[in-house]
């Protein structure tokens, strides 16, 4: 379980650095799935709700 927490923390830190430095492409508007058993990543796009004030 510890390695998984480290992987997720590293991914979050990297996304934060990309946002603050405007360097690289952030995964905004997507959900990132990580399967630790097969070591595979998968992303899905999120569509904003036109009736949502926050989206």
Residue 48 has what pLDDT? 87
For residue 34, count other CB atoms closer than 10 A to its CB. 13
Q: Convert the pLDDT of each residue in 2-54 to its tens digit.
A: 889 999 999 999 999 999 999 999 988 899 999 999 999 999 999 989 998 88
Show me where the domains of the chain are located. Answer: 2-45
d(CA 23, CA 14): 10
Q: What is the pTM of this model?
A: 0.70
Q: What is the pLDDT of residue 14?
A: 96
Question: In this model, does residue 1 exceed pLDDT 80?
Answer: no
């Amino acid at each position: 379980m510890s390695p998984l927490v480290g992987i997720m923390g590293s991914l979050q830190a990297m996304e934060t650095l990309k946002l603050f430095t405007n360097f690289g492409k952030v995964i905004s508007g997507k959900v990132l799935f990580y399967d630790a058993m097969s070591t595979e990543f998968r992303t899905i796009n999120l569509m904003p709700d036109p009736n949502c004030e926050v989206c």
